[in-house]
Chains A and B, each alone.
Chain A
Amino acid sequence: MISRRANPYAVQPPLRTVLVPILSTLAGSAMGFLPVIATEPIVPPCGLMMLLAWRLLRPEMWPPWAALPLGFADDLISGHYLGTSMILWTIAFLVLEWVDQVLVWRDGWIEWGIASVALVLIVFGAWLLSQPASSLTSMFTILPQSIGAILLFPAVLRLTASLDRWRLRR
């Protein structure tokens, strides 16, 4: 969050450094365009997974409000009511800020644990906010998606890490 403009000696980072995290998260959201016709939610929320992976890998990269525009794009793609992901993702970012202050120790397992809790809560929140008033949809429809997302998360984290290495290469 230290503004770069104030320091005349700082080197301006190339555009790639800024764009790669944003575009990869949007690409994750765009998994909703997969040409499968599903009668229940089966594909894990890849946009959310990319977002969490970037946030856990580079906590200082995005300000907390960066989740707002990314969530807006995800809402438009997934057909939820506008605002669903905007609310949930931004609250998740604010909670993660707090978690960063509280945790004194972290490794891969802890990050996976944090991400699992966040994924389940956000998918559940999306289910809660996106159902119309008189809906009879069962809560357990989110189960296959959540389990898939939790199991896939380490792979997404690896993908994000390799993207990060490519992004920061000189």
Chain B
Amino acid sequence: MAAPRHRRRGFSRRVQYGLFAGYVIAIVGVMLAIGLLMLSRFDPRAFNTLRGVVVDAGAVFTGLGRAGIRSGNEAGEVFDAYVAAGSQNAALKMELAKQRRAVIGAKIVAAENARLKRLVRLSEHLPRPILSARLIGSTPTGQRRFAILSAGTAEGVRPSMAVRSPEGLIGRVFENGIFASRVLLLTDGETAVPVKVVRNGLAALATGQGDGTMEIRALIAGGRAFRRGDLAVTSGTGGVYAPNIPVAVVTEVRGDRAVARPLADPSRADFAAVYPIFQAAITDLPAQPKP
């Protein structure tokens, strides 16, 4: 088929001017959009209210859909539980007996730990969670990795608060609506978490790679610092994240860098706890400048 010739200018001045005006508006609009892009790159908090309203509006739809998906999953699990229920029951009873012995052992260790801590007067000021809320969605079409949390400014959630699940760190709050907020996931390119390797206490920096993994770089140069299976936990350096939250496990070593997989899977975690911004206790005050 021959291509249709729309936008044919003809002899009408009115049509010619109309077409031209359309192009002019488009090009001016692109210029304005470039300005908007610059503004929001240098000041990510710009237009926070507008973006918050959209997060809220989206959370209404996402929350409804999420409830449906969850009930579907639960129905599947109920059916699944009836298959091989007898043998599973026996196996679980054996497991329970084993775990009971382990729990008794753990209780003894915990008591011993508390006694020793009292002995050395070691007190920990770890922050307590503000609330726990559901993760209801994410931005699956976009190039950034955000999850939607079903709590916002009305519940006291503020940007840069840490979000974690029982398995480990999920990310930090990026922007708020009134009753929903966007969480910057660990795998986003903007994330940078100060971590330490549990095996040798080495300080490192974990950054997201956008494809479900993180890259860990040692802060000290040289040597092969990482091994496969190393656990990285937050070090608490620089604030924001409280220390000793599990972050990721090393899956691949590339020279002095390592690729790691986050421990907490946000798609599995139903609930996530929001922690206030961590501020390390100041041990010695900076010296006063001499007048």
Q: Looking at the complex, which one of B19, B192, B267 makes contact with A1 (CB distance below 8 Å)?
A: B19
Task: Add 12 more A-B contacts to A81-B44, A82-B51 (CB < 8 A).
Answer: A1-B22, A32-B140, A32-B141, A35-B68, A37-B135, A39-B266, A59-B4, A87-B34, A90-B33, A132-B189, A135-B208, A136-B189
- Name the B residues within 8 Å of A117 (CB-CB): none
- Evaluate contact between B267 and A81: CB separation under 8 angstroms: no
A-B contact pairs, 10 of them (CB 8 A): A32-B140, A32-B141, A39-B185, A44-B141, A60-B6, A65-B22, A68-B26, A84-B37, A93-B26, A94-B23
CB distance from A63 to the nearest CB of B (A): 4
- Evaluate contact between B143 and A127: CB separation under 8 angstroms: yes
B7, B23, B139, B266 — which one has the most chain A CB atoms within 10 A of its CB?
B139
Does A33 sit at the interface, judged by CB under 8 A? yes
Chain B proximity mask over A29-48: 1 for CB below 8 Å, otherwise 0: 01111111111111111110
Q: Looking at the complex, which one of A86, A126, A131 makes contact with B33 (CB distance below 8 Å)?
A: A86
Known A-B contacts A2-B18, A37-B137; the reply to A100 vs B6 at CB < 8 A is: yes
Which residues of chain B in 264-285 are interfacial with respect to chain A, using CB atoms and an 8 Å cutoff? 265-267
Does A91 sit at the interface, judged by CB under 8 A? yes
Q: Looking at the complex, which one of A37, A67, A140 makes contact with B138 (CB distance below 8 Å)?
A: A37
- Name the A residues within 8 Å of B58 (CB-CB): 30, 32-33, 77
Does A103 sit at the interface, judged by CB under 8 A? yes
Q: Looking at the complex, which one of B37, B39, B140, B143 makes contact with A131 (CB distance below 8 Å)?
A: B143
- Evaluate contact between B30 and A35: CB separation under 8 angstroms: no
Q: How far is the CA of A139 from the CA of B287 in the complex (A)?
A: 47
Residues of B within 8 A of A (CB): 1-4, 6-7, 12, 14-15, 18-19, 22-23, 25-27, 29-30, 33-37, 39-41, 44, 46-47, 50-51, 54, 58, 61-63, 65-66, 68-69, 135-147, 182, 185, 187, 189-190, 192, 207-212, 215, 265-267
- Name the B residues within 8 Å of A86 (CB-CB): 29-30, 33, 36
Known A-B contacts A37-B135, A65-B25, A104-B3; the reply to A79 vs B14 at CB < 8 A is: no
Does A64 sit at the interface, judged by CB under 8 A? yes
- Evaluate contact between A33 and B187: CB separation under 8 angstroms: no
- Evaluate contact between A35 and B65: CB separation under 8 angstroms: yes
Q: Looking at the complex, which one of A6, A129, A141 makes contact with B37 (CB distance below 8 Å)?
A: A129
Number of A residues with CB within 8 Å of any CB on chain B: 69
- Evaluate contact between B62 and A3: CB separation under 8 angstroms: no
Q: Which 8 A-B pairs have the closest CB atoms?
A: A135-B189, A137-B210, A83-B37, A78-B142, A86-B33, A35-B65, A83-B36, A35-B66
Residues of A within 8 A of B (CB): 1-3, 6, 30-47, 59-60, 63-65, 67-68, 71, 76-84, 86-87, 90-91, 93-94, 97, 100-101, 103-107, 123, 126-127, 129-132, 134-138, 140-142, 145
Which residue on chain B has the smallest CB distance to residue A129? B37
- Evaluate contact between B50 and A76: CB separation under 8 angstroms: yes
- Evaluate contact between A83 and B40: CB separation under 8 angstroms: yes
- Evaluate contact between A38 and B26: CB separation under 8 angstroms: no
Q: How far is the CA of A60 from the CA of B9 in the complex (A)?
A: 13
- Name the A residues within 8 Å of B46 (CB-CB): 82
Q: How far is the CA of A106 from the CA of B25 in the complex (A)?
A: 28
- Name the A residues within 8 Å of B19 (CB-CB): 1
